[in-house]
């Protein structure tokens, strides 16, 4: 009999499971507390459940579903990268594959932000990304994603999260939405959606479901305002044009609590000219948003290099002069291959 993971189940589902095992439904609420507030990794730790209750859950094939990190590395700047060994589904046929995913904890003053993975590898094939080069190894379950929140050393102190690790979150939307439900529910982590940012390259059909289904912030990976140039870097552009993504975003309200940002990794000689800045301004006109300019970390067999800081400042000033809020992202964790675009780099590419 296959094992059924409890991690990722909602309070209502846990109560139903308790009842289906012949237990009182309040046992479901106790389990939720053990899973999401006390970070229990086994039934033995759930000391206010009777021995009979724990045994019945085991007999019915239930497990906690915790995935503990197998390795961790700390950068000279305090950034920490955790490796989680997962066994994940390759899709509809139910085939499972063992893989390793990474979560990165980025400290910044009082903040501790966790960058989480939603898939093992990725199908999207963005040319500048080591995860993309690795190919797709499967969707993570909500249990796999929540394990990244629950079992790092900093778990109790996390202040924010970004779904910007390995994978395209909207390509695994059901499990990502389930994770968000647990993170924001009173019976779960009780986080405000303002602490959560989901990043996407613009998988159009799923974007509306995401925007309608939660109030979390959204970050869109843009990287070039010109369709043909963007398509040369990001195959997704051929299926879902960024122009259509922006059209859809204009239907939503980003003037209140929910924030919209665009990620723009800068590549020397590719997207750093003033005509790119001007096209970006035209593209984003009328959309309350900010642009994050990101330093590129060189990867093997990729023609472009990073843009020198003074030129990034010039680009930033041009956007700001047109009224766009713009920041240059500090680079973190490069020495442990935890920086943007490098996840799965060292682990899967020993030549790095
Ligand atoms: Fe996938 Fe994101 Fe990398 Fe593109 S940048 S290949 S969507 S992980």
Interval 286-331: pLDDT, tens: 999 999 999 988 888 899 999 999 999 999 999 999 999 999 987 6
Q: State the pLDDT at residue 13.
A: 98
Q: How far apart are CA 26 and CA 54, in angstroms?
A: 14
Query: What residues in the chain have per-residue pLDDT under 70?
Result: 1, 91-94, 331, 333-352
Tell the residue number behind the tokens 């043909």, with chain if given: 228
Which one of 163, 167, 204 would you pick to mutate in the ligand 1 pocket, going by the greatest count of ligand atoms within 8 A of its CB? 167
pLDDT digits (tens, 9 = 90+) for 76-132: 999 999 999 998 877 666 677 889 999 999 999 999 999 999 999 999 999 999 888
Q: Tell me, in angstroms, the distance from the centre of ligand 1 to residue 129's CA.
A: 6
In terms of DSSP bridges, do strands 325-329 and 290-295 run parallel, antiparallel, or are they unpaired?
Answer: parallel
Catalytic site residue from 21, 88, 326, 340: 340
343 within 8 A of 134, measured Cβ to Cβ: no
Active site residue 102: yes
Please calculate the CA angle 2-7-9 and round it to the nearest 5 degrees.
95
Which one of 99, 118, 124 would you pick to mutate in the ligand 1 pocket, going by the greatest count of ligand atoms within 8 A of its CB? 124
Which ligand 1 atom minimizes the distance to the CA of 125?
6
Structurally, what CATH architecture does the domain formed by 4-63 represent? Orthogonal Bundle (1.10)
Q: Tell me, in angstroms, the distance from the centre of ligand 1 to residue 247's CA.
A: 22
DSSP 3-state of 342: coil
Q: State the pLDDT at residue 340.
A: 53
Q: State the pLDDT at residue 347.
A: 45
Give domain 71-348's CATH superfamily. Aldolase class I (3.20.20.70)
Q: For 184-208, what is the HEC assignment? A: HCCCCCCCCHHHEEEEECCCHHHHH
Kindly state if the Cβ of 201 falls inside 6 Å of ligand 1: yes
Catalytic site residue from 21, 88, 102, 115: 102
In terms of DSSP bridges, do strands 96-108 and 111-115 run parallel, antiparallel, or are they unpaired?
Answer: antiparallel
Which ligand 1 atom minimizes the distance to the CA of 130?
3
Q: Tell me, in angstroms, the distance from the centre of ligand 1 to residue 326's CA.
A: 22
Active site residue 340: yes
Which ligand 1 atom minimizes the distance to the CA of 164?
2
In Å, the largest CA–CA distance within the chain is: 69
* Secondary structure (DSSP) of 99-162: EEEEEEEEEETTEEEEE--SEEE-SS--TT-HHHHH-EEEEPPHHHHHHHHHSSTTGGG--EEE
Q: How far apart are CA 189 and CA 148, in angstroms?
A: 13
Kindly state if the Cβ of 220 falls inside 6 Å of ligand 1: no
Kindly state if the Cβ of 131 falls inside 6 Å of ligand 1: yes
> Other C-beta atoms within 10 Å of 59: how many?
10
Report the chain's C-alpha Rg in angstroms. Answer: 21
- The helix-helix angle for 242-249 and 274-284 (nearest 10°) equals 40
- The tokens describing 240, both together, are 């879902």
Domain ranges of the chain: 4-63, 71-348
Paired residues of 103 in beta bridges: 82
15 φ, ψ to 5°? -65, -40
Kindly state if the Cβ of 102 falls inside 6 Å of ligand 1: no
CB neighbour list of residue 321: distance below 8 Å, 6 or more residues apart: none
Q: What is the pTM of this model?
A: 0.94
Q: State the pLDDT at residue 335.
A: 66
């Amino acid at each position: 009999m296959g094992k059924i993971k409890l991690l990722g189940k909602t309070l209502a589902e846990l109560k139903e499971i308790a009842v289906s095992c012949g237990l009182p439904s309040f046992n479901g609420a106790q389990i939720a507390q053990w899973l999401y507030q006390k970070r229990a990794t086994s039934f033995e730790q759930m000391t206010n459940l009777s021995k009979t209750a724990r045994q019945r859950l085991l007999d019915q094939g239930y497990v906690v579903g915790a995935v503990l990190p197998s390795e961790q590395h700390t950068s000279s700047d305090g950034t920490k990268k955790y490796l989680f060994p997962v066994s994940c589904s390759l899709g509809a046929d139910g085939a499972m594959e063992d893989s390793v995913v990474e979560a990165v904890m980025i400290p910044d003053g009082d903040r501790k932000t966790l960058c989480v993975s939603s898939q093992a590898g990725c199908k999207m094939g963005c040319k500048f990304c080591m995860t993309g080069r690795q190919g797709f190894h499967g969707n993570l379950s909500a249990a796999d994603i929540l394990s990244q929140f629950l079992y790092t050393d900093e778990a109790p102190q996390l202040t924010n999260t970004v779904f910007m690790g390995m994978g395209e979150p909207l390509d695994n939307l059901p499990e990502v939405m389930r994770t968000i439900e647990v993170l924001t529910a009173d019976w779960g982590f009780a986080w405000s959606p303002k602490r959560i940012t989901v990043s996407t390259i613009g998988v159009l059909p799923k974007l509306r479901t995401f925007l309608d289904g939660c109030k979390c912030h959204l970050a869109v990976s843009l990287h070039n305002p010109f369709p043909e140039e963007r398509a040369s870097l990001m195959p997704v552009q051929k299926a879902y044009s960024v122009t259509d993504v922006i059209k859809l975003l204009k239907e939503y309200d980003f003037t209140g609590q929910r924030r919209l940002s665009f990620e723009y990794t800068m590549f020397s000689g590719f997207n750093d000219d003033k005509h790119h800045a001007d096209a970006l301004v035209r593209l984003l006109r009328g959309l309350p948003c900010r642009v994050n300019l990101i330093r590129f970390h060189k990867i093997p067999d990729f023609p472009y290099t990073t843009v020198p800081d003074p030129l990034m400042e010039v680009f930033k000033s041009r956007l700001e002069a047109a009224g766009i809020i713009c920041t240059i992202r500090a680079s973190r964790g490069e020495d442990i291959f935890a920086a943007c675009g490098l996840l799965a780099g060292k682990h899967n590419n020993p030549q790095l």
